[in-house]
Amino acid sequence: MAQRAPTASKKSPQVSAQVIKDLHERMVRIRLFETEAGKLMEAGKLPGFLHLYVGQEAVAAGVMAALRDDDQITSTHRGHGHAVAKGVGFREMYAELYGRVTGACLGRGGSMHINDLTRGMLGANGIVGAGVPIAVGAAFAARYKGEDNVAVTFFGDGATNIGAWHEGANMAAILGLPVVFVCENNGYAEFTPQSGHMLLTDVADRAAAYGMPSVIVDGMDAVAVHRAAAEAVERARAGAGPMMIEAKTYRYFDHQGVKGLRHPYRSDEEVAEWKARDPIDLLEVRAVADGTATRAELDDVWQRTRDEIADAIAYAEASPLPDPADLLLNVYSG
Amino acid sequence: MAQRAPTASKKSPQVSAQVIKDLHERMVRIRLFETEAGKLMEAGKLPGFLHLYVGQEAVAAGVMAALRDDDQITSTHRGHGHAVAKGVGFREMYAELYGRVTGACLGRGGSMHINDLTRGMLGANGIVGAGVPIAVGAAFAARYKGEDNVAVTFFGDGATNIGAWHEGANMAAILGLPVVFVCENNGYAEFTPQSGHMLLTDVADRAAAYGMPSVIVDGMDAVAVHRAAAEAVERARAGAGPMMIEAKTYRYFDHQGVKGLRHPYRSDEEVAEWKARDPIDLLEVRAVADGTATRAELDDVWQRTRDEIADAIAYAEASPLPDPADLLLNVYSG
Amino acid sequence: MTTTTEAPAVTPVAAPRKLSYVKAFNEGLAQAMREDENVFVAGEDVAGYGGVFRMFDNLLDEFGPRRMIDTPISEAALVGLGVGAAARGLRPVVDLMFMDFIGVCLDQIVNQAAKMKYMFGGALSVPLTITTASGAGLGAAAQHSQSLEAWLAHVPGLKVVMPSDAYTAKGLTVSAIRDDNPVVIMLNKVLLGSTSEVPEEIYGIPLGQAHTARHGSDVTVIALGRMVGEALAAADELAAEGVEIEVIDPRSVQPLDTETMFASVRRTNRVLVVHEAVTFGGLGAEIAAQIQDAVFDYLDAPVLRIGAPFSPVPFSPVLEKAYVPDRARIAQGCRRLLERS
Amino acid sequence: MTTTTEAPAVTPVAAPRKLSYVKAFNEGLAQAMREDENVFVAGEDVAGYGGVFRMFDNLLDEFGPRRMIDTPISEAALVGLGVGAAARGLRPVVDLMFMDFIGVCLDQIVNQAAKMKYMFGGALSVPLTITTASGAGLGAAAQHSQSLEAWLAHVPGLKVVMPSDAYTAKGLTVSAIRDDNPVVIMLNKVLLGSTSEVPEEIYGIPLGQAHTARHGSDVTVIALGRMVGEALAAADELAAEGVEIEVIDPRSVQPLDTETMFASVRRTNRVLVVHEAVTFGGLGAEIAAQIQDAVFDYLDAPVLRIGAPFSPVPFSPVLEKAYVPDRARIAQGCRRLLERS
Ligand SMILES: Cc1ncc(C[n+]2csc(CCOP(=O)(O)OP(=O)(O)O)c2C)c(N)n1
Ligand SMILES: Cc1ncc(C[n+]2csc(CCOP(=O)(O)OP(=O)(O)O)c2C)c(N)n1
Ligand SMILES: [Mg+2]
Ligand SMILES: [Mg+2]
């Protein structure tokens, strides 16, 4: 069954111009970071795997704009968007993709382990679903210490089929922890459509199995995501326990890499339908139409970001490689 | 939160006298098998652990009376009731509890691994939830081979919190396999009440997360269980896919052993309330009242079963121990 | 179903057919599926997509959706499905994609598949095959690069094979599927595209029979999986120095054919074991322990082990290269063994 | 938090206090909780019930439900909770009840807890303690009796300790909790009620430091966990025959103090390693491999390993008894070593 693009909400967004600009900038940053990363991979400059986030920007941007710096997130194999939106620097991220010692993981982790504890980014993760219980633990720690930060865990539609996801959801619910569960439903788990991996139309319906409320949002509409996230986050922060958000979204590139397609698992029409509702376009058109931003302002964001990316890539390329003599660095503490 | 005993259905059971007698006999067989096993354990005659099924007889009896011999079941750590009801012999079972070479596992498995492939009993299991995917596999095999047998997997309320349960339920649903999920909700996972391990009142509500229908039955009423099971089994046999039954029931003895209580996790009132609705009493009273069976007929079942048990225990005690020289027997096939 | 078709002697014909490792695996699997209607394949993206490593290419076309099953991301249920189906007489092949994912389903492999026959008093067999891709070298980092054969070989009831080239990838796959026990096939990711001569007809390679890949009299090198090729390359290098290395490929690590190793060491008196896995607690430890026990008096030097250092697999290629043993380190090890009088 | 209070010398006072293994564990845990507000305990029935082995008795009374958490049967989420909480600065103690259940949560232990610091470039520590009961001897059969230290010791980033008596149960527990790395504490089920002298004050026992439990000159016996007591009993038996056995208790198997072993073997020239786990691929293999490598020239006989045979743990006590190594087999092994010239 093909993933259908939700139709745009006609309601005018009830968020401030500042938030709109914030969402826009976060999305542009992700889009350009990822597009350039894809090009670098195609050019053979990056080792390892690359799961690009392009198309899903509204989700990371919308959620992260609702978080404080000390709020914690756990991410997935498709984690760059979350990292960028949470404020992890381009330099550390590209340097990591290049395997340089200046990278976010000192070159030890690569794409799937980018993290930044100073920004509450508790790491991408190579194991589907594994970040879910870790976020539950982060939320536990917050409550234990009497802090009011919350944890957000991102996962795909496919990830909701794995045991750790189920266990993590129930654990958060029974312990009443401040965790927001964000399902980025892009309609596919690798090459398997949602209809091939679960009988439900809405992943959000799974929340009820844990006594957890849930909401479904248009994952191409950053404002819609943001409003839902702000509500869920405030709810969690106030001690009302976990909640789930399902954002219906789409990835533009292949599961891994840029164009590895050898199996027509998605139709051209489907891809086109979703791209026609590109989250950045959508936000820009509305922002210009309602006077929130001028075209020039928006263009300036793109240009500034491009410059920052060029600098970051140059930084990464100029950075030294790790020293094989340090192979055992950080295996243990102390 | 205390587990409340459901009130008895006032509807007169719409099943034949033969089925009533069948249910009665299966329950008596379980009750006596378990009561005697408990005594043997108390007397220090049985090594290992013993998770008694007393109190829950209506579930095993009700479900198994709806199955054919070639239907398959997977069971749990609390598996004697399922085995007895599925027709596994007392001799092999007691001999196994005694660790004799004549036992159901040749003395290798003990209580938690009793099985009988000739009766479709695919084994008790020491790992909570592990039997669930195995039943899914058995159902897969049936459909693959074009056979119309179904698989039933038993599990407790607590087991629905483990990943394998979730994965198994979704797998059965998406593959549309003939599996019946039977939750024996006895209100506790070891010493933790249901309210301490999930936010739901009805475990059956979890079925919706897989697009699976479900039904809740009075697990002290063998007829009610039987009718629900017959429906679910026929549905599965007809190719309509999996379904979940939640039977609200209670265990009379401790989680493990007979009276290991050191923590008042259940009130005397609660225990008494449930015992007042003893599944065998309930059936006997109704059967005598509506003329389905005479007291003498029912007593005869008890007596015959007692005799068979005495014989089986004598058989077990007279059976030889395994020979340590055969330690490596059956590690591999071929 | 345990009969093993012996490998046909590779007679030198006009143009011996070469096949890649992954295609040889695929061919063996397809032939085993043709041979036995009870064989089916289940896993994530194995059917429609043909597997992320193309291990299952074209099988959906030939065998259809009844025998090629795409599953949700639910490895515990996937292996459990295999266990249940095997218990009921089928011969499932379930794919774990990356070996590193085994941590989410090890209970079904170790506590269910491996022990069921024993615990049940022999009442059934579990003819389950588990395929998975292991090994470092692709910059896939710590959670997608492990070689965990030591865990599995420590489990009574399991068998574990590590094909070292296309020929063994096919033959071990066929034997694994024909075997009545749970067998884990560890395909090496770096070898997927490597080619060697592969007979067209179906053939099995006996599990638990080591193969002497090269004969030599000076040092025995026992190499697992991808390290066999590295050892052969090291042998070439050392041959130029006048040193003759014997290379043994155990092919299966459980059961492990130690007799072939002992016999070799009795001749060479020096032995090196090499694998990709971390040295500490790796298979090399078991092999070394058995050798020093069985042929103690023949050893002119302690058994030398080469494996990965005690760290997770690093991402950066410069580190990963230093991490994984290679021909240079093997040659180096052999020289060290020979220096010892 | 990595400072280790050295074990106070056990000075012979009027009536040295004896405590059971499980109570010593409990006392160490309670003292560590008093010492550090960031320590909490989570697991199935650990709070209200005090743990099925009474490991957590009375802790709920003292520390309340904030620090003693009963969880659902969700071991993957339980360990994950610990990983996340540890990453955020707490010092979680999570309980797995039976070690055999590790197969349902190994991913969180091995791919998350153990690797996180490394993969993240050192950005954090994971000061997580995992407690679990291991070992055979209670007729608990194949899924409730395993000793799986070999799996864990093979994982870079983890530490693993195996207390052999009440004294080490307390001290290793304290050190595990104080350690900034993930540490698995394997309590032995059969030892739970066994008693030994245990100081009342809090003390740590350094991880990675073996203890020579008995000095002797004829054979070194390296024994893990419960086997230490068996080895000491065998030593008594052999002493009557005029044979002096040195018994080494590694206490922690990762890190493993091989120097103490090497030094001993240099004096005794004969060594036996004994553990409850299956011999093939067990820790004994690693120890044997290291010893034959490091002190090859000092060995008068090959390193002898004694472990369980290659089968799941059988249920029937008569089989289980034959399965688990004991003092008789250890004594027998020592005699065999001494026969060898
Ligand atoms: C436990 C585990 N199983 C399988 C994989 C391989 N894998 C990586 S991503 C992926 C698909 C995930 O789908 P989804 O959760 O929908 O996320 P998306 O890729 O669509 O963002 C799979 C199967 C894995 N990394 N971990
Ligand atoms: C994976 C796993 N975790 C924990 C246990 C220990 N354990 C055995 S039975 C049990 C409680 C099961 O509760 P429930 O599913 O409700 O079944 P009941 O005992 O009530 O019949 C637990 C925690 C286990 N055997 N396996
Ligand atoms: Mg997806
Ligand atoms: Mg229960």
* pLDDT tens digits, A142-164: 999 999 999 999 999 999 999 99
What phi and psi, each to the nearest 5 degrees, are found at residue B155? -160, 160
Going through chain A in order, the beta strands assigned E by DSSP cover: 72-74, 151-156, 179-185, 188-189, 192-193, 214-218, 243-248
Q: What is the Cα–Cα distance from A252 to A248, expressed in whole angstroms?
A: 14
| pLDDT of A290 above 70 | yes
> Are C39 and C236 spatial neighbours (Cβ–Cβ below 8 Å)?
no
Which residues make beta-bridge pairs with D187? D133
Q: pLDDT: is C208 or D1 the higher one?
A: C208
Question: Taking Cα atoms as reference points, which of B158, B197, B156 lies closest to residue B1?
Answer: B197
Please report the residues numbered 188 through 207 in chain A whose beta carbons come closer than 8 angstroms to any beta carbon of chain C: 189-192, 196-198
pLDDT value at position C274?
Answer: 99
Q: Do A167 and D76 touch (CB under 8 A)?
A: yes
For residue B112, report the distance from its CA to the centre of ligand 1, in Å: 35
* pLDDT tens digits, C142-186: 999 999 999 999 999 999 999 999 999 999 999 999 999 999 999
pLDDT band at C339 (very low <50, low <70, confident <90, very high): very high
C-alpha pair distances (Å), C337 with each of C11, C127, D303: 37, 42, 20
Q: What is the Cα–Cα distance from D106 to D100, expressed in whole angstroms?
A: 11
What residues of C are labeled active site? 75, 144
> Are B114 and B83 spatial neighbours (Cβ–Cβ below 8 Å)?
yes
- Locate the chain B residue with the closest alpha carbon to C75: B167
* pLDDT tens digits, C20-73: 999 999 999 999 999 999 999 999 999 999 999 999 999 999 999 999 999 999
| pLDDT of D3 above 60 | no
| pLDDT of B9 above 60 | no
pLDDT band at B6 (very low <50, low <70, confident <90, very high): low
D75 — alpha (psi -120 to 50), left (phi > 0) or beta? Answer: alpha
Question: What is the per-residue burial (b if ≥16 Cβ within 10 Å, else e) of C10-47?
Answer: eeeeeeeeebbbbbbbbbbbbbbbeeeebbbbbbbbbb
Q: Kindly state the DSSP code that residue C308 receives in the 8-state scheme.
A: E
For all residues of chain C together, what is the average pLDDT?
A: 96
Q: Do C111 and B127 touch (CB under 8 A)?
A: yes
- Within C68-221, residue ranges assigned H as helices are 75-87, 106, 116-119, 149-153, 166-178
CATH number of this structure's domain A17-256+291-322: 3.40.50.970
Which residues make Cβ contacts (< 8 Å) with residue D331, sequence separation at least 6?
D234, D237, D238
- Within C88-140, residue ranges assigned H as helices are 106, 116-119
Please report the residues numbered 212 through 241 in chain A whose beta carbons come closer than 8 angstroms to any beta carbon of chain C: none
C-alpha pair distances (Å), A268 with each of A252, A257, B17, C28: 11, 18, 63, 35
Of A1-15, A161-175, C281-295, which gets the smallest average pLDDT?
Answer: A1-15
For all residues of chain A together, what is the average pLDDT?
A: 95
- Locate the chain B residue with the closest alpha carbon to A170: B198
The beta-carbon neighbor of C280 closest among D153, D288, D304 is D153
pLDDT value at position B259?
Answer: 80
Q: What is the Cα–Cα distance from C210 to C30, expressed in whole angstroms?
A: 25
- What is the CA B311 to chain-centroid distance, rounded? 23
Give helix then strand counts, H and E, for chain A.
Answer: 11, 7
Q: Any CB–CB contact under 8 A between A159 and chain D? A: no
Q: Do D45 and B190 touch (CB under 8 A)?
A: yes
What residues of D are labeled active site? 75, 144
Write the DSSP string, C309-339.
Answer: -SSPPPSSHHHHHHHS--HHHHHHHHHHHHH
Which residues make Cβ contacts (< 8 Å) with residue B161, sequence separation at least 6?
A166, A167, A170, B189, B197, B198, D72, D73, D74
- Locate the chain A residue with the closest alpha carbon to D115: A331
Query: 3-state DSSP call for residue C252?
Result: strand
- Which residue in the block uniquely carries the two structure tokens 């500034």? A304
pLDDT value at position D7?
Answer: 55
pLDDT value at position C3?
Answer: 43
Q: How many CB atoms lie within 10 A of CB B317?
A: 13
User: Mind telling me how many Å the CA of A19 is from chain C's nearest CA?
Assistant: 36
Q: What is the Cα–Cα distance from D130 to D183, expressed in whole angstroms?
A: 6
Take residue C293 and report the two structure tokens written for it: 């026990």
Please report the residues numbered 39 through 98 in chain D whose beta carbons come closer than 8 angstroms to any beta carbon of chain B: 44-45, 48-50, 52, 70-76
Task: Give the residue-averaged pLDDT of B51-68.
Answer: 98
pLDDT value at position D58?
Answer: 97
The beta-carbon neighbor of D322 closest among B111, B129, B324 is B324
Of A134-143, A266-275, D62-71, which gets the smallest average pLDDT?
Answer: A266-275
Q: What is the Cα–Cα distance from C328 to C311, expressed in whole angstroms?
A: 21
Q: What is the Cα–Cα distance from A93 to A80, expressed in whole angstroms?
A: 8
Q: Do D48 and B265 touch (CB under 8 A)?
A: yes
Q: How many CB atoms lie within 10 A of CB D19?
A: 20
| pLDDT of A5 above 60 | no
pLDDT value at position C177?
Answer: 99
* pLDDT tens digits, A214-266: 999 999 999 999 999 999 999 999 999 999 999 999 999 999 999 855 567 99
Question: Taking Cα atoms as reference points, which of B247, B240, B224 lies closest to residue B154?
Answer: B247
Which residues make beta-bridge pairs with A244? A181, A214
Which residues make beta-bridge pairs with A277? none
Write the DSSP string, A106-142.
Answer: TTSS-GGG--BGGGTB----SSTTTHHHHHHHHHHHH
pLDDT value at position B261?
Answer: 58
The pTM assigned to this predicted structure is 0.96
| pLDDT of B2 above 50 | no
C68-70 and C39-43: which strand pairing? Answer: parallel
* pLDDT tens digits, B244-292: 999 999 999 999 999 855 567 999 999 999 999 999 999 999 999 999 9
Take residue D197 and report the two structure tokens written for it: 């002298």
Q: How many CB atoms lie within 10 A of CB B4?
A: 12
For residue A17, report the distance from its CA to the centre of ligand 4, in Å: 54
| pLDDT of D4 above 50 | no
pLDDT value at position A238?
Answer: 98
Q: What is the Cα–Cα distance from D166 to A41, expressed in whole angstroms?
A: 57
Which residues make Cβ contacts (< 8 Å) with residue A317, sequence separation at least 6?
A98
Taken as a whole, chain C contains a residue count of 341
- Which residue in the block uniquely carries the two structure tokens 């894809």? A38
pLDDT band at C2 (very low <50, low <70, confident <90, very high): very low
**Nearest-5° Cα angle at B143, B138 to B149:** 65
- List strands edge to edge, sheet with D183-188: D68-70, D39-43, D91-98, D129-134, D183-188, D159-161, D252-254
* pLDDT tens digits, D251-303: 999 999 999 999 999 999 999 999 999 999 999 999 999 999 999 999 999 99
Q: How many CB atoms lie within 10 A of CB B64?
A: 28
Query: 3-state DSSP call for residue D214?
Result: strand
Q: Whose CA is nearest to atom 18 of ligand 1?
A: A156
